[in-house]
Structure 1
Amino acid sequence: MPTVVNDVKSFAAERAWGARDIAEIEGATVRLHWTNEPYRWHINDGPEVFVVLDGAVRMHYREGGQENDVLLRAGEIFVADVGDEHIAHPVGEARILVIEKKGSV
């Protein structure tokens, strides 16, 4: 049966980065996250697709030993490949769709 997620803008979790599982596709998870706090610096063991659905997120990433950042607004996407060190800092509350290898950090 198809699934409709129509409460994205009102979705909230009990803690920062709490999530609702939306789907699993061939070893990858699709999760809706809510947060109002930064995550932590990390490197995924597979690609990660990060879609801002509501709010804004300043994504910091390291490239060639230098820290960079980009402000992502609703409808914008950040893709981290294997080995890309990054951290997400929401600007207030944000709701993010994350697609990544199941069990990734």
Structure 2
Amino acid sequence: MVIIRAKDFTPENPWGAMNIACMQGITIRLHWTNKPYHWHTNDGEEVFVVLDGKVNMHYEQDTKQLSKLLEIGDIFYASIGTKHYAEPIGEARVLVIEKQGSI
């Protein structure tokens, strides 16, 4: 049994992560960042949950680049092949659930 206080997690580098669990090939990781990630496409599905802060989630849909502001409690689901990147506003902590070894 482990209790994690997400607000207390701040690694040395942006997008640093704490591995919480790996269940049947699916990882659950807590990330902290104050810098944007890069455009990428995962080779599996991804669930991205904002736990602290705000994040502009940029994504492509029908060849159009769109973005949506995610706030605490908001969830972004990227299906296989969804090109996207996260841009925090200040600091943010997010929970990412995805296939083990995914980008």
- Shorter-chain TM-score tier: over 0.9
Relative to the length of structure 2, the TM-score reads: 0.98
| Identity within the alignment, % | 54
Relative to the length of structure 1, the TM-score reads: 0.96
Task: Describe how 1:3-82 pairs up with structure 2 within 5 A.
Answer: 3-5=2-4, 7-82=5-80
* Larger strand percent: 2
Structure 1, gaps ≥5 residues long: none
Please give the root-mean-square deviation of Cα atoms over the aligned residues, in Å: 0.6
2: CA distance, partners of 1:16 / 1:84: 23
The ranges of structure 1 where at least 4 consecutive aligned residues each deviate by more than 6 angstroms after the TM superposition are: none
| Aligned amino acid, residue 98 of structure 2 | E
The corresponding residue for 1:92 is 90
2: CA distance, partners of 1:70 / 1:22: 27
Structure 2, gaps ≥5 residues long: none
Task: After TM superposition, give the deviation of residue 68 of structure 1 in Å.
Answer: 0.4
- How many correspondences in the alignment? 103
